[in-house]
Amino acid sequence: MTNLKPKLSGFPQAILTFGSTVLLTSLAITGVVLGLRGLGSLEGMELGAFDQLMRSRPDEGVDNRFLVVGVNDADIQTRKEYPIEDGTLAQLLAKLEAQAPRVIGIDILRDVKQGSAVGRAELVKLLTDSENIVAVCAISKADSPGIPAAPGIPEERVGVADFPVDPGGTVRQGMILTIPQASKLPVPNEHICNYVSAENQLPSLSFQVATRYLAESGIEPEQTQSGEIKFRDTVLKRLTPNAGGYHKVDTGDYQMLLNYRSGKNPVAQVSLSDVLSDKVDPALIKDKIVLIGYTAAIVKDTFYTPYSAGAADSQKMPGVVVHAQNASQILSAVLDKRPLFWHWNEVQEGLWVFAWSLVGGFLAWRIRKPWLLILGGGVAIAILLGGTYAIFLKAGWIPLVPPALGLLATAAGVVLIDRYAATIVKTVKGFLKINIDIDEEKKDEEVAAITESDYFLELQQKAKDLRVRDHTQTSGTVENSPIPNLRPPETLQPISTTKSESTSTILDVDYLQQVRDRRNKRNSSENSDDANHDSEKLTPTPVEEQADIDYWQQLQSRGKKLRENKK
């Protein structure tokens, strides 16, 4: 039991040190990191981390419920049509309907006639009569009056072509519902896509085709008490302003994070020419969602995605494919139980950052060897990355950059406080000591200047005369010497020639002034009527004369040494 006493006695002290150093530093660093995050300073890094995690996931491959018919560069050059004419689009729709798709979505704006009047009439008739065709419009915004859908399409089969784009042009969100905004530009004609009203909530193209596909299976959308949409037990979680790594993102519309399937092959794709020449397998069309849109680079209907930063080229994704990705995530969540993205609330994220800051502080407090501390920090970062990635595979977006910064900053702070605080104080004192030494040298120079002055040389001569007088008085040959009393003050300490005591020269200067005053007094007393009486009064005693001689000898020795040191 006696062997345990030293260990137990040090235990409270260790707890106190841990609390004062690690805990307080972790709290301070966590506050700084969360403050920066609250200001939006970390948003760019967090969105970049989100993109990297997205690119690192395994490719989920093609969703066989979809087919994209793309109008590519070869189609435009072969048919010599851009934009594609109404008659060609009508012919394409007829070919596709013959294969009984479940839903057809047209991601091509057709408010203005293209081609002949005959082709236009055929297109309008198909759009009016077919119950499974959805056409797009562009909603009005502050800088746009909006673009209406193709004529003949009923309002209940109109989908919005727009989707949210983050600063920098990257698409990370999928649109569900949106409301037109008032435009600052003149509105040529009013339509459903520029009618500004809180009740005019328009579905996106992807939500339109997904809803119609599920309706064929008897699954209808419902509204929750919070105003969100659900299919059976799958709720389409609405994006919040500070969701994940976002900072005050615009959430005026109903949108959610886009859980991409793949960066290269999310859905099967064929060309316009392939369908018109009957080269497409009917199995790719029957009972599927078919989306029609431009995939040609010349059209520039392409967007950056989280996969773009990892490619050698821009790797933009056509807008029609982005719509397919958004519709696919809805169907996969409802029918395949594939998770939609989720995130923690701000309190949970704050505790997560604090926990990793505490880990960094504990490692720095516990591990004394630098290389072991670096190794331990690397292992901790690897665990953080691995845990965040594992959760991301389950569609969880939790903070990665803030806890990593908290861990590293807290570790560095604890090292500075725990190990190098004394060194820092010592260094500061060293700088102050240098300044003091410089002042001492300046004082020595001033003292040297005094000892080399004419007045000091006169004092040396007087000291020599005192020694001669003492000798003559001892031999009995001189009496009533007129030499004044030059006794130093009783408080004056013996003169030291060491550098550390050079400050005593201040007293020496004061004493020199006393000597000058005594000499002036003696000169004036010699002219008075009672000069003999004053001389008698000023005549030093033998003890005083001996003190004068000793003092002047010390002054002479000090002056000599100072001159030698200066040389």
Asked whether residue 112 falls in the same domain as residue 94, the answer is: yes
State yes or no: pLDDT of 486 exceeds 80. no
| Residue whose pair of structure tokens reads 């982005």 in the numeric block | 322
- For the stretch 52-62, pLDDT in tens is 999 999 999 99
**Average pLDDT rounded to a whole number, residues 412-438:** 66
- 551 Cβ neighbours under 8 A, 6+ residues apart: 486, 487, 488, 492
% of the chain exceeding 90 in pLDDT: 63
State yes or no: pLDDT of 533 exceeds 80. no
Q: Angle between the 505-526 and 531-538 helix axes, to the nearest 10 degrees? A: 150
pLDDT reported for residue 22: 85
Amino acid, res. 228? E
State yes or no: pLDDT of 535 exceeds 60. no
State yes or no: pLDDT of 186 exceeds 60. yes
pLDDT class of 514 with cuts at 50, 70, 90:
low
pLDDT reported for residue 513: 57
**Average pLDDT rounded to a whole number, residues 515-537:** 52
pLDDT class of 418 with cuts at 50, 70, 90:
confident
Asked whether residue 126 falls in the same domain as residue 81, the answer is: yes
pLDDT class of 553 with cuts at 50, 70, 90:
low
455 is in which domain, residue-wise? 426-566
Q: Does the residue 19 lie in any domain?
A: yes
Asked whether residue 413 falls in the same domain as residue 511, the answer is: no
Region of poorest pLDDT, from 212-216, 331-335, 356-360, 435-439: 435-439
State yes or no: pLDDT of 502 exceeds 50. no
ω into 83 cis (within 30 of 0): yes
% of the chain exceeding 70 in pLDDT: 72
State yes or no: pLDDT of 203 exceeds 50. yes
Rama region for 419: left / alpha / beta (φ>0; ψ in -120 to 50; rest) = alpha
pLDDT class of 300 with cuts at 50, 70, 90:
confident
Q: Does the residue 5 lie in any domain?
A: no
State yes or no: pLDDT of 510 exceeds 70. no
- For the stretch 26-42, pLDDT in tens is 999 999 999 999 999 99
pLDDT reported for residue 464: 74
Q: Where does a domain end: 313, 338, 363?
A: 338
Asked whether residue 437 falls in the same domain as residue 562, the answer is: yes
Greater model confidence, 295 or 522: 295
Phi then psi dihedrals of residue 104, to 5 deg: -120, 125
Distance between CA atoms of 377 and 467, rounded to whole angstroms? 80
**Average pLDDT rounded to a whole number, residues 470-485:** 50
**Average pLDDT rounded to a whole number, residues 21-25:** 87
- How many CB atoms lie under 10 A from the CB of residue 305? 24
Q: Does the residue 501 lie in any domain?
A: yes
State yes or no: pLDDT of 187 exceeds 80. yes
Strand 202-203 to strand 173-178: parallel, antiparallel, or no bridges (unpaired)? Answer: antiparallel
Asked whether residue 325 falls in the same domain as residue 360, the answer is: no
Greater model confidence, 303 or 6: 303
Contact predicate 373/420, CB 8 Å: no
Distance between CA atoms of 48 and 44, rounded to whole angstroms? 6
Region of poorest pLDDT, from 140-149, 241-250, 365-374, 396-405: 365-374
Q: Does the residue 401 lie in any domain?
A: yes
- The Cβ-side half-sphere exposure at 526, using a 13 Å CA radius, reads 9
Tokens matching residue 566: 């200066």
pLDDT reported for residue 204: 97
Q: Where does a domain end: 364, 395, 419?
A: 419
Residue 85 gets which letter from DSSP?
Answer: P
User: Judging by beta carbons within 10 Å of its beta carbon (0-12, 13-18, 19+), is residue 444 exposed, middle or buried?
Assistant: middle
Asked whether residue 351 falls in the same domain as residue 205, the answer is: no
pLDDT reported for residue 483: 41
Cα–Cα distances in angstroms (integers) from residue 325 to residues 205, 291, 310, 332, 400, in the given order: 11, 11, 19, 10, 25
**Partners of 138 in the β-ladder:** 147
Q: Does the residue 357 lie in any domain?
A: yes
Look at the chain and report how many structural domains it folds into. 3
**Average pLDDT taken over every residue of the chain:** 83
**Partners of 70 in the β-ladder:** 271, 293
Region of poorest pLDDT, from 45-54, 129-138, 349-358, 458-467: 458-467
Q: Does the residue 2 lie in any domain?
A: no
pLDDT class of 5 with cuts at 50, 70, 90:
very low
Q: Angle between the 401-419 and 370-393 helix axes, to the nearest 10 degrees? A: 160
Phi then psi dihedrals of residue 22, to 5 deg: -75, -50
Phi then psi dihedrals of residue 292, to 5 deg: -115, 130
In the chain, the N- to C-terminal Cα span, in Å, equals 70
Distance between CA atoms of 141 and 533, rounded to whole angstroms? 115
Tokens matching residue 413: 């702070």
User: Judging by beta carbons within 10 Å of its beta carbon (0-12, 13-18, 19+), is residue 204 exposed, middle or buried?
Assistant: buried
Asked whether residue 397 falls in the same domain as residue 447, the answer is: no
pLDDT reported for residue 395: 96
Greater model confidence, 188 or 258: 258
Rama region for 152: left / alpha / beta (φ>0; ψ in -120 to 50; rest) = left
Asked whether residue 331 falls in the same domain as residue 430, the answer is: no
- For the stretch 89-107, pLDDT in tens is 999 999 999 999 999 999 9
- For the stretch 245-285, pLDDT in tens is 999 999 989 999 999 999 988 999 999 999 999 999 999 99
Asked whether residue 319 falls in the same domain as residue 191, the answer is: yes
Asked whether residue 194 falls in the same domain as residue 240, the answer is: yes
Asked whether residue 22 falls in the same domain as residue 148, the answer is: no
Q: Does the residue 3 lie in any domain?
A: no
pLDDT reported for residue 461: 74
Q: Does the residue 373 lie in any domain?
A: yes
Asked whether residue 320 falls in the same domain as residue 363, the answer is: no
**Average pLDDT rounded to a whole number, residues 410-427:** 76
Look at the chain and count its residues.
567
Q: Where does a domain end: 386, 404, 419?
A: 419
State yes or no: pLDDT of 566 exceeds 80. no
